[in-house]
Amino acid sequence: MVNKVIVTGGAGFVGSNLVRLLLDKGIQVAVLDSFIRGRREYLADLDVEIIEVDIRDEAALAPAFTGFSHVIHLAALGSVVESVSDPHTNFDINVRGTFNVLNAAVKAGVEKLVFSSTGGALIGNATPPVNEVSLPRPISPYGAGKLCCEAYCHAFAKSYDLTTVCTRFANVYGPYSGHKTGVINQFLKRITEGEALQIYGDGSSSRDYIHVADLCDGIYAALAHTSGHSDIFHLASGRETSLRELADIMRNNAGRPDHPIEFLEARVGEVDRNFASYDYAAQVLGFSPKIQLETGLDETCNWLLQHQGAF
């Protein structure tokens, strides 16, 4: 029975959507966030306890987790590009911070921890679709860090009385993402400001885009699932979308099909092609994404445009 959940990074993009879902399920929720990047306004008027703690502060975590049966660990730096330019900070927050969270969860008697991992960056350049048995060969510090965290999750599950589940996210989009700097936000900003869209590479590189509502359904299913002491699930759409196709969808949705595109040199650390099979999550968790990319992008862009301060 999931009664009390603490969400690290709960004031961020995925967190603020997930907190709403958990509250709708009747679960008591606390948010632990450093507010380095999370936004308090995303949680305004929600009935949640807010604990301002940085996951690098090991001494503060165990007291914060005490009394909670479940932890959903979302707090992280999520940029591949930033991890290449500053691998030390990425390691400090993502790897050392996750070790602190796991250690504190054990000390506080937490029953289960759900960890937010990644599919593309962790596995690297592999022939898609990837799945839970694909060989990880990360090509960025971000991907390497997430692989390290998955290893620690498995080790803690085997060494201590803590169930861990690693959920490998596809590329997530949706509302409450105004502070993000990813491709969808950048494309929309450039369309609205009349500037050429910038694509790194020739536009053939691909990703798997999942709406945050579908992702949160998968996280909740992993949280509520009762069997297994340590497991990994890909939460993805199963659809491969190239950067050029993404640009075309967004240009068409904006009524500007001929908006210019500028092609730049490909960036170090970015995988070429990636999309994932979610068959295992469907089989075990009953996971099934429902929101089509075209519809979800239109909804997301409308939300962003209504919150111009987000840019």
List active site positions: 142
Separation between Cα atoms, residue 182 and residue 13, nearest integer Å? 12
Of 299, 309, 202, 200, the closest CA to residue 250 belongs to: 299
Separation between Cα atoms, residue 274 and residue 295, nearest integer Å? 21
Separation between Cα atoms, residue 111 and residue 80, nearest integer Å? 31
Three-class DSSP category at 221: helix
Three-class DSSP category at 142: helix
Report yes or no: 89 and 95 within 8 Å, Cβ to Cβ.
no
Separation between Cα atoms, residue 233 and residue 258, nearest integer Å? 39
- Cis peptide upstream of residue 138 (ω within 30 degrees of 0): no
Separation between Cα atoms, residue 124 and residue 274, nearest integer Å? 8
DSSP letter string, 82-127: HHHH-HHHHIIIIIIHHHHHHHHHHHTT-SEEEEEEESHHHH-S-P
Residue 266 DSSP label: P
